Structure 1
């Protein structure tokens, strides 16, 4: 890509709308995923918790009834009257089993108490309304089915409050009864359980345990469930059953046999409140509570949608990554074979190397010397674009028959290139950045492709010269993959979107016919390349035309550079969008190059952070093996091309030892750059110009790679 344009004017204010939108979207996604993870992440069916000490438990609690009122300090216990059975169902509602159980209860005109979790109530508010509409009582079973024995006051209050709001939003009632998860009979209450019952009382609610456990959560068979649920004597009892938490078909079948059998024996079946003589199992919820409940339900529903969407995106992104890998392998093979078969007549026509320079004092000498060392006839035009660091004065000592210096007021890189192209006296021009070092054979290998009269431009192979630092190594990996696979693909499909500003050759007449270098986008190299293809010219890639460029040395500089590149590319794509409807070379760009670019260099990076988030939350909250597998496939399909690219480019594969770390750090940064660029474009915010700080390359022009 090209270095940035520069103008002596007040810089545009930093865009803020895009940051607000980006942060808002990311915060909303993270918040909803967190809600999904906390509320809906894990669920375990009721099982009896192991018993601890009982020193603090009042005897009246352990020997009394299943309803415990601890609201006013001293506990008051109640039990159902004789020959009375309170039907209770825990863990729901469930879209499959709750309606089936309601149908059985309706058939026998029996009412029950449904202890719902706040998570499921928020997921299925319609079922909560159905339970209330059928005349059944609704109780609180905590929000996340947490064992209240193991949590403190705050968590207990949050669990109960969440469920109260969900029930209020769904059915307009505020439950007074609480069934602690993992609870059993009053005789099983130990010290931790008693403390949790006291917290329930402090919240103004009644704790409801059970006298009889159907053990339907073990799925022992319908007959066994009936046997476990049948009272052994005439004392009243609270029966524990479940309408969620797994396959409850045995519960439904057992209930259809148990109810008529008990009714035939003279048992009265009903709700907990009816069985113990409690005036009410709850109270109508206030308008404020109902409104808050609606908001909570909406947030939970949205979190479900986001979580499901992200899991789908994880699969889609894995498929896209696999597709990209397959396409790259095919096109790379074709490109390598085609290159071996291609024989071009030698091109000996001289070329003009144009170097736009704005404050390039640190590296301009190395650039000029490397160009003059070319094994092809060249002249050099340096266009000083109003430098203030003495660049022009430094270049003056190189001025000769082969080197010309042109000065102009600061007008931007595109204007400087246009000045150089206008001054060139050769048909072939090579555009080189002022921080780039060429190998001796670079110009010669570039211009050979102009033996084909249909070729209008040639992309060189830009390589990172300052690769000793970790950041430099990461950029080195990125450049090798991008130039050796992406550009091979574009070459084979004849839809090259960019000839990089660091190194590229053009037919001067073709550029002039287009009006010169475009000045209305931030990516003039991409804009020019697309314009040439729309004008009917072929653009090809030459791997051996290497140019060593100075990559940004800090994260801040890298962010600014990539942000501008991506934003400028989006501008160019939008500018040339009509290529999709055109024919010939323009149509190949529009129907091959632009979709590939948008799909794999914009959409996939935009999705990638969400994919990583989905994988992380999926591993923590659902089928971690499946989700983790998709994630690893997604990462592997991005790593495989790296090995191929390094082998093709003759680079040391050991550099790829840094690839895993790059995947988790550098890759995320680049993805966020794309996200920010897209959000900036959507927000319509202006992008300020940036000049990257240069320190200069120290490379042996005869052997820049250092390879023996």
Structure 2
């Protein structure tokens, strides 16, 4: 639970006018990249989905006929196999159904905050027992952002309360012009979201800012991160969060386990954003603090608190926008076991989200969603439920 911010803001003057410029895209509307990113998925995505569903339905009908037209009743194994294939079809429909809503594919313009007159922001790096070298690399990148040093603070929120890390943060704080702080909450609870809420409350007690971003300990921000994302928030008071795609620098050759998530970041999220249905996916997103307080803080005890936060914000009428630029790079799991563990966590997290949102149908948390946002959320909730009998066994595929 977040506390109300009653402290004096850091020089927040509502009369301040920020200089926002739009960057010219090298991939203009005549370029093949723009066509492949927007028009091509829109033109072929729906027909391919329908064709795939048609083949699956035909296969199920043939399977049904072969099972029931023989002598006697089908065995348990055959019946389970049919049920598994049927659940896979339902899951595929849930995964792809939202694409039918995308009628106006477009790219959101690339914006930048120019000059030194920029809003104050907090960069919060969450950690819990990771290697100190990895943490310090992330902290150094945050200190080197192309942003006035007196306009942002960095807080390392350490749930492991590592004294060695605290000492290194204190030493670096003396060498950087940016305000660098260390924080370990007194009591642990609420999982990662609990650490995030506690960190926000701590910063509010020091003097709040209007915007905050959370960075996973293995993510490195590009220098333009704050100027690009904050430009989207200050240009529209109803934008509650700006989402940035995740990119990784240790993906194996040919990406055999699809760890890069390129299709999600370069196609799916752009299509969702064109419908104002973007999802909050992972770290490196920038929030308006007022929006987080409006929903009572980040939902605690959730394995997929990021997506759940996004749906809750949309349910309160806040906008979720997608910044398509590659502004952060991180690490993917480097062992097969860690990869499967990560995918299982995502799957179970989606199941829990479905329960907390009542499948996005009856929950008051989604009351303020548009009908497109509601269908998108229903697809998110329905997919893991439909595939729950087989997805845990093959989540690595």
TM-score range normalised by the length of the shorter chain: 0.5 to 0.7
List gaps (5 residues or longer) in structure 2.
1-61
The reply to whether residue 461 of structure 1 matches residue 245 of structure 2 is yes
Q: 1:335 aligns with which of 81, 106, 114?
A: 106
> 2:341: which partner in 1?
560
1:167-198 CA distance string (max 9 Å, x none): xxxxxxxxxxxxxxxxxxxxxxxxxxxxxxxx
The reply to whether residue 421 of structure 1 matches residue 215 of structure 2 is no
> 1:666: which partner in 2?
none
Q: Is the 8 A contact 2:111 2:231 kept in 1?
A: no
Higher RCO (CA 8 Å, separation ≥ 6 residues): 2
Q: How many residue pairs align between the two structures?
A: 317
Shift in CA distance, 327/544, structure 1 to aligned 2, threshold 3 Å = same
The reply to whether residue 381 of structure 1 matches residue 152 of structure 2 is no
The reply to whether residue 406 of structure 1 matches residue 183 of structure 2 is yes
Q: Is the 8 A contact 2:220 2:328 kept in 1?
A: yes
Shift in CA distance, 321/587, structure 1 to aligned 2, threshold 3 Å = closer
SS of structure 2 residue aligned to 1:457:
strand
For 2:252 and 2:312, the matched residues in 1 are separated by: 37
For 1:529 and 1:568, the matched residues in 2 are separated by: 14
SS of structure 2 residue aligned to 1:426:
coil
> 1:493: which partner in 2?
275
The reply to whether residue 394 of structure 1 matches residue 168 of structure 2 is yes
For 1:368 and 1:527, the matched residues in 2 are separated by: 27
**Pairwise CA RMSD:** 3.9
The reply to whether residue 353 of structure 1 matches residue 134 of structure 2 is no
Deviation at 1:553, TM superposition (A): 0.8
> 2:70: which partner in 1?
123
> 1:362: which partner in 2?
133
Deviation at 1:568, TM superposition (A): 1.5
Q: Is the 8 A contact 1:376 1:443 kept in 2?
A: yes
Deviation at 1:504, TM superposition (A): 0.6
SS of structure 1 residue aligned to 2:133:
coil
For 1:311 and 1:559, the matched residues in 2 are separated by: 22
Q: Is the 8 A contact 2:112 2:228 kept in 1?
A: no
1:528-584 CA distance string (max 9 Å, x none): 222211111011111115211211111111122221122112212221237435677
Q: 2:227 aligns with which of 420, 444, 447?
A: 444
**Superposed, which structure 2 residues align to 1:157-168 within 5 Å?**
none
For 2:257 and 2:92, the matched residues in 1 are separated by: 28
Shift in CA distance, 382/343, structure 1 to aligned 2, threshold 3 Å = closer
**Superposed, which structure 2 residues align to 1:173-188 within 5 Å?**
none
Deviation at 1:416, TM superposition (A): 2.0
Q: Is the 8 A contact 1:356 1:417 kept in 2?
A: yes
For 2:95 and 2:361, the matched residues in 1 are separated by: 25
The reply to whether residue 484 of structure 1 matches residue 255 of structure 2 is no
TM-score (norm 2): 0.67
Shift in CA distance, 469/430, structure 1 to aligned 2, threshold 3 Å = same
For 1:602 and 1:566, the matched residues in 2 are separated by: 7
TM-score (norm 1): 0.40
Larger Rg computed on CA atoms: 1
Q: Is the 8 A contact 2:244 2:326 kept in 1?
A: yes
**Superposed, which structure 2 residues align to 1:94-113 within 5 Å?**
none
Shift in CA distance, 486/381, structure 1 to aligned 2, threshold 3 Å = same
For 1:312 and 1:566, the matched residues in 2 are separated by: 19
The reply to whether residue 518 of structure 1 matches residue 299 of structure 2 is yes
List gaps (5 residues or longer) in structure 1.
1-35, 42-118, 125-296, 610-668, 676-708
